[in-house]
């Protein structure tokens, strides 16, 4: 069974993507690395078939920016050897996501359109749950439907199935007629 994960994007990155006209585009590439500023998808346990939800914490709210299915996880140093030209051009297109020490690339089919206006409702936020080998935990620092600190979502974390369904409902592909 596939898992779902969140990955926190900085507000600076989100502003750069908005300014660069990426809103509405379908995410096809993610970058990971060895540092907290660009965490590792491999170390988080992400596998092909899993879904990743980039999130943002802004003005005491969590914003779900879209989602992407993972097709492949590749080492950054050899990514050019494994991608066809179309995927390699997508990698170059999403260059703003590449920050710091990159060691891995997540490639997938086009995900949902990027949307910087989908705030997670307070009632959903207060129930959002992550799973790990140690058990389940809810997001900390949620008070009256507001996220007062991003510390408990900083990184890449596996969602409980119900939480993944709740985020999925927020990023429904508006262009998909089904």
User: Residues 45-97: pLDDT tens digits?
Assistant: 999 999 999 999 999 999 999 999 999 999 988 888 888 888 888 888 888 88
C-alpha count within 13 angstroms, C-beta hemisphere, residue 139: 31
Quickly tell me which residue has 């069974």 as its tokens. 1
- Predicted local confidence at residue 178, as pLDDT: 47
Whether the per-residue pLDDT at 174 is higher than 60: the answer is: no
Q: How far is CA 32 from CA 3, 44, 137, in A?
A: 18, 10, 24
pLDDT band per the 50, 70, 90 thresholds, residue 12? very high
**Distance (Å, whole) CA 51 – CA 69:** 4
3-class DSSP assignment, residue 122: helix
- Predicted local confidence at residue 176, as pLDDT: 52
pTM, whole model, 2 decimals? 0.92
């Amino acid at each position: 069974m596939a898992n779902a994960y969140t990955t926190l994007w900085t507000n600076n990155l989100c502003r750069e993507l908005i300014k660069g006209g990426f809103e509405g585009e379908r995410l096809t590439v993610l970058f990971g690395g060895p540092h907290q500023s660009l965490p590792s998808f491999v170390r988080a346990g992400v596998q092909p078939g899993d879904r990743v939800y980039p999130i943002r914490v802004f003005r005491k709210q969590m914003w779900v920016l879209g989602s992407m299915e993972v097709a492949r996880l590749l080492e950054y140093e050899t990514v050019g050897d494994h991608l066809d030209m179309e995927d390699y051009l997508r990698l170059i297109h999403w260059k703003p996501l590449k920050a710091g020490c990159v060691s891995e690339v997540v490639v997938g089919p086009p995900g949902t359109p990027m949307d910087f206006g989908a705030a997670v409702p307070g009632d959903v936020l207060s129930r959002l749950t992550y799973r790990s080998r140690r058990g389940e935990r809810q997001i900390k620092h949620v008070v009256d439907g507001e996220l007062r600190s991003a510390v408990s979502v900083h990184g890449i974390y596996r969602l409980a199935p119900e939480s993944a369904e709740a985020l999925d409902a927020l990023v429904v592909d508006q262009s998909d007629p089904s």
